Amino acid sequence: MGLNRQTFAALLVIACLIAVPYVAPMLGGNYVITLATRVVILAIAASSLDLLIGRGALVSFGHAAYFGLGGYVVGIAAFHLANDVPIFGWAGSNEALVVWPLAMLVSGFAALLIGALSLRTSGVYFIMITLAFAQMIYFVFIALKYYGGDDGLSMTSRNLFAGTRITNAQTFYWICLSALGLCLLIQWRLVVSRFGMALRGAASNERRMAALGFSVYGYRLVAFVIAGMMAGLAGALWANLNRFVSPDMLGWVRSGEFMVMVIMGGLSSLFGPIVGAAAFLLVETALAGWTEHWQVAFGPFVLLVALFAPRGIWGLVSGKGKP
């Protein structure tokens, strides 16, 4: 029964995501599509964080670092192209098929370095050391006057996708949705594979997995890098959506919001982070549009979710509400 309900809920989420461009004209046009695009991009970042928090019990409080780095790769590549100044002998680029993978590589590399050091700790210490590294990157970009510092960096236009400019809101939505689908597919394959079992096994009993001959550290590091790369892709898409990157993409508040989305949606579920990202963004947007004192209402909403839906909204919807 539970499984049926879960499948039904999953199909509903997919149907809603696909329906957006078709029903948008009735609801308010491009704005609705853009809002949905925002949800989809944040869902990519949140689901990549869920790979760490949900599957691996690795609570990273610095996930915005990879999101922001991915965004800055896109922004900086466009900046150099627009200003005709090569960077390390490279002219910069506006081609999505070049800069998006590059964004993923840079974010993945950062995750490799940070993960290699951070994974030596565990528990709360892991939370804090990931935060520490993210804050360092944040402060570097704040001070980086060449790339706008805290004022941020604008892009004159979105990236080209295989030579074609992505101006249409619908096209961009489909691209983002495909990216989300791809990320979820990869995560699903990972989770059911030997890799996923090792990751989950280490989360519940690290010693046993080590005794069984699994390199817990290695598996965790790979998960950390994959999650970083997916967050980097989300950041690259976010930069394209806004045609603007700024250090607020990297800050701890943004990391905290990703965590809130994951927990609100429900841990260890492919669809939880989507629901979480949607709930977070839509409730916040609606409340902020309704009253200037939105925090007074939004705070308790977050609190109530934490207290009464510890499995998240997805847990409630899919019938796994009781821990």
Partner 1 sequence: MQLLFEQLLNGLQLSLTLFLLAAGLTLVFGIMGVINLAHGSLYMLGAYAGALAAAKFGSFWLALPAALIAAGLIGAAMEWLVVRRLYALDHLSQVLATFGLILFFNGTIAWGVGRAPLQMDTPALLSGFVQLGPGLPYPTYRLAVMGVGVLVALGLWYVIARTKLGMLIRAGSDKREMVAALGVNIAGLFTLVFGLGALLAGLAGVLVGPIRSVQIGMGEQVLITTFVVIVVGGIGSIRGAFVGALLIGMCDTLSRAYAPMLLKMWLTGALADGLGAALSSIMIYLVMAVVLVVRPRGLFPAGG
Partner 2 sequence: MRLKTLALASAALFALNAGAHAQQAPVKLGILTTLSTPGGYIGEDVRDAILLAIEEEGGKLGGIPVQTLIEDDKLKPGDGKQIIEKWLETDKVKLFTGIIFSNVTIATVPTILESGGIFVSPNAGPSNFAGKACHKNYYVASWQNDNLHESAGALAKKLGYKKMVLLAPNYPAGKDALTGFKRMYGGEVVEEIFTGLDQSDFSAEMARIRAAKPDAVFQFHPGGQGIGFIKQWAQSGLKDQIGMVVAAPSMEQRIAAATGDAAIGIAATAHWNTDFKNPESQAFVKGFMAKYNRVPTVYASQGYDTAKLIGAALKATGGKLDEDAFRTAMLKADVKLTRGAFKFNNNQHPIQDWYEVKAVKGADGKVALETVGKVLENHKDAYAQDCKL
Q: Which parts of this chain interact with partner 2 (CB under 8 A)?
A: 28-31, 34-35, 38, 139, 142-143, 145, 148-152, 154, 238, 242-244, 246, 248-249, 285, 288-289, 292, 294-295
Min CB(243)–partner 2 separation in Å: 7
Comparing CA positions, the residue from 163, 141, 143, 152 lying closest to residue 75 is: 152
Can residue 90 be called a binding residue for partner 1 (CB under 8 A)? no
Q: Given the complex with partner 2, which of 33 and 52 has the nearer CB atom?
A: 33
Q: How far is the CB of 142 from partner 1 (least distance, A)?
A: 8
User: Among 1-9, 33-41, 71-79, 254-262, which window interacts with partner 1 (CB under 8 A)?
Assistant: 254-262
259 binds partner 1 (CB under 8 A): yes
Q: Mask: binding to partner 1, 30-59, rule CB under 8 A, as x and -?
A: -----------------------x-----x
Q: Which is nearer to partner 1, 145 or 322 (CB)?
A: 145
What amino acid is encoded at 237 in this protein? Answer: L
Residue 314: C-alpha distances to residues 40, 75, 137, 264, 302 (Å): 16, 34, 33, 8, 15
91 sits near partner 1 (criterion: CB under 8 A):
no
**Binding-site ranges for partner 1 (CB under 8 A):** 53, 59, 117, 120-125, 127-129, 131-133, 135-136, 139-140, 142-143, 145, 252, 256, 259-260, 263-264, 267, 293-307, 310
